[in-house]
Amino acid sequence: MDGLGKGNNIIGKRYKELLPELEAQGIFEILDQVLATGIPYHAKNEKMELVVDGKVKQFYFNFSLNPLINSAGEVYGIVNTGADITDLNEAQQKIEESEERFRIMADAAPNLIWALNPDASVKYVNQTFLDFFGISIEKVISDTWAPYIHPADSEITGQSITNATRNRKIYSLEQRLLRHDGTYRWFLSQGAPSYYPNGELYGYVGSANDITELKEVEAALELKNAQLSRTNNDLDNFVYTASHDLRSPITNIEGLVSLLREELTESNFFTTRTEEVLQRIVASVNRFKQTIEDLTEVSRLQQNLSLIPAAEIINIPDVYQEVVADLDYFPAFSSSSIQTDFQVQQLPFSRKNFRSILYNLLSNAIKFQSSDRECFIHLATQLEDSQVVLSVKDNGLGINKHHQEQLYTMFKRFHDHVDGTGIGLFMVKRIIENAGGIIKVESQEGAGTEFKVYFKA
């Protein structure tokens, strides 16, 4: 009674004297009934209003009124035992209010939302859920939603939920669900454990978002990729076949030109004019041969990239010396000056592909040098944010901003005064990007160009 502000001096006092406020709440009538009948009275979660320190407060009790009976069978008193559950009741009310707010928000959501009990039985589903399946909450609780899962997804769904609830882990899966119109829709379903404030498992709360359109796009892309792969294979076969079949007539043309030169010489018809014409024919044939070789190289590159050549630890200065030996045949190489600064000398990369990158960048710097000044090229390797960077900087013709956007387009050329077919930079870009790196360019027309190749860390 001290907790109710009645003090400790209560022995011998009557209930009506100590708690007169209970009379209006019918408690004394119940006491009289127990005294008169000898039948116990039990109450759970009984609300009472008691006066504490002069103020009326609301309480909740679980209590029992048990009669005391003497040997003559007469009731001579009552034992009142009870427990104040006010705090527990208020906590339960807060939980119920929280659940009600959750239901209001969930019913307004466009996706499927549900709550499961700790044993994985259905506790709650939102209105969108019911509308999608076209069923009642009672049917969901009795049947669960197992009958509405696509048979092919049923096992993985059951395993995911069972494992998650057993281990109290988050789960996520893609599944097909049967809509009320008889069609299956793809959903991304996710669930997570939810707990009471005391740490006890409340259950699982989850949602499912319709990803049917996304899955259809993915399927369309897979089909398109398969078609493109077949097309690429067909093109590769065509390139190899065409290059093989064209070599023979080209060789014949070269032979006929040589024979014509001899006939013109023997017939004294070989003049400066005929020599110029024959040289043009030979130059055209050589360009044709080079174009075929380049197409073959592009096709070979595509195949090699799909195979992803194994990386090896290459020595960059050694590869550079090999490239320089090849460049020595360039007419303009002798007038070019190359300065090297290999801060990084070893790199895990395909040797063949690295050689191709270095050869193309250096040969371009030499070919597109300016006639106004000596060709100077700075070749360097260094570390930037744990990435190996290869840079090739020249003081050549440079590239204007508009052309930089088309720089890596196959067969795109911006200068006609030098030989080439325009696939070198295309190949470099494909090689480095396929290996997870990138290539960047900075250039100023009339001042020079710098290419930077960033190899994957």
pLDDT category at 387 given cuts 50, 70, 90 is: very high
Contact 107, 127 (CB under 8 A): yes
Model pLDDT, residue 5:
54
Return d(Cα 115, Cα 124) in angstroms, integer.
5
Return d(Cα 372, Cα 23) in angstroms, integer.
114
Q: Could you please report the per-residue DSSP string of 336-378?
A: EEEEEEES--EEEE-HHHHHHHHHHHHHHHHHT--TTS-EEEE
Query: For the whole model, what pTM was predicted?
Result: 0.43
Top mean-pLDDT range of 10-24, 94-108, 282-296, 332-346: 332-346
Model pLDDT, residue 3:
47
Residue 2 reports pLDDT greater than 60: no
Residue 65 reports pLDDT greater than 60: yes
- Token pair 């005929």 in the structure block, residue: 274
Model pLDDT, residue 318:
94
- Domains located in the chain, CATH noted: 2-84 (3.30.450.20), 95-210 (3.30.450.20), 216-306 (1.10.287.130), 309-454 (3.30.565.10)
Q: What are 167-224's pLDDT values in tens digits?
A: 888 888 999 999 999 999 999 999 888 887 778 887 888 888 999 999 999 888 988 8
Residue 112 reports pLDDT greater than 70: yes
pLDDT category at 418 given cuts 50, 70, 90 is: very low
Q: Other CB atoms closer than 10 Å to residue 430's CB: what's the count?
A: 20
Residue 6 reports pLDDT greater than 60: no
Helix (H) or strand (E) holding 137: helix 137-143
Model pLDDT, residue 380:
95
Pairing mode, if any, of strands 448-454 and 387-394? antiparallel
Contact 206, 116 (CB under 8 A): yes
Which of 90-99, 354-363, 379-388 has the least mean pLDDT?
90-99
Region 242-249 average pLDDT: 68
Model pLDDT, residue 194:
83
Which of 135-149, 150-164, 306-320, 367-381 has the least mean pLDDT?
306-320
Return d(Cα 352, Cα 319) in angstroms, integer.
9
Residue 40 reports pLDDT greater than 50: yes
Region 361-380 average pLDDT: 88
Give all strands of the β-sheet with 387-394 in edge-to-edge order: 336-342, 375-384, 387-394, 448-454, 438-444
Residue 304 reports pLDDT greater than 80: no
- Token pair 């034992």 in the structure block, residue: 79
